[in-house]
Chain A
């Protein structure tokens, strides 16, 4: 069974950065493209970007220059760092597995990490 376990909730001040991690089980880490999606409570999910099995990342234009996605093969962990945080970045952040290459069919999700931006 695929498991994606994310790091715990964070509280950050405006202008700070946050780094969220996602540990993947089994071959998921080796074989699959992995996405990051965020969701403001009460709203639809918003795609942030994707990272390939080889570590090449592609980001949504909205987050270009502010987001960095990486993979640590030694620990089987993904990381997503978002900088220059604003109040509007308060959301639950998810990692999610792409079912087939870059199909964008997201079949397994982490449990989510709440990031709160507060002064």
Chain B
């Protein structure tokens, strides 16, 4: 199975801050990398697919980049509703696997 790691595991930010989260795969996965946002008590929400494709309705302050083994999720200006936990997921091979998450809370 492909192992996914994320850094940092948590971070504190203020409204308006730029936030960057990284994700690394244990082997090359081309651009088969998705990002999800999860708030407490809710299901994960797909934000970005194939490393950089923003899903319909997701604000443009979210962006994704990367290929191979290293990926980045960026939020250009944190908004109150963005404080959540973010997960990466590789969709390159079965079983699909998720990272352990990055929790973004308010500074």
Q: Which residues of A contact B (CB under 8 A)?
A: 43-47, 58, 60-61, 94, 96, 99, 103-107, 109-112
CA distance A112 to B98 in the complex (A): 17
Check if B95 sits within 8 Å of A60, measured CB to CB. yes
Q: Which residues of A contact B4 (CB under 8 A)?
A: 44
Q: Which residues of A contact B45 (CB under 8 A)?
A: 109
Q: Mark B36-56, 1 if CB is under 8 A from A, else 0.
A: 100000111110011000010
- Please report the number of residue pairs spanning A and B whose Cβ atoms sit closer than 8 angstroms: 52
B101 within 8 A of A: yes
Nearest Cβ distance between residue A1 and chain B, in whole angstroms? Answer: 12
CA distance A60 to B2 in the complex (A): 13
Contact of A47 among B36, B46, B96 (CB under 8 A): B96
CA distance A44 to B101 in the complex (A): 6
Contact of A105 among B34, B42, B97 (CB under 8 A): B34
CA distance A105 to B99 in the complex (A): 15
Q: Which residues of A contact B55 (CB under 8 A)?
A: 107
CA distance A113 to B95 in the complex (A): 22
Q: Chain B contact residues (Cβ within 8 angstroms of A): what range? A: 20 to 34
Check if B46 sits within 8 Å of A43, measured CB to CB. no
Check if B98 sits within 8 Å of A45, measured CB to CB. yes
Q: Which residues of B contact A107 (CB under 8 A)?
A: 46, 55
Q: Report B74-107 residues with CB < 8 Å from chain A CB.
A: 87, 89, 91, 94-101
Check if B94 sits within 8 Å of A104, measured CB to CB. yes
Contact of B46 among A44, A58, A105, A111 (CB under 8 A): A105
Check if B95 sits within 8 Å of A44, measured CB to CB. no
Q: Which residues of A contact B97 (CB under 8 A)?
A: 47
Nearest Cβ distance between residue B16 and chain A, in whole angstroms? Answer: 28
Name the CB-closest residue of A to B97.
A47
Contact A99/B44 with A44-B101, A104-B94 known, Cβ cut-off 8 Å: no
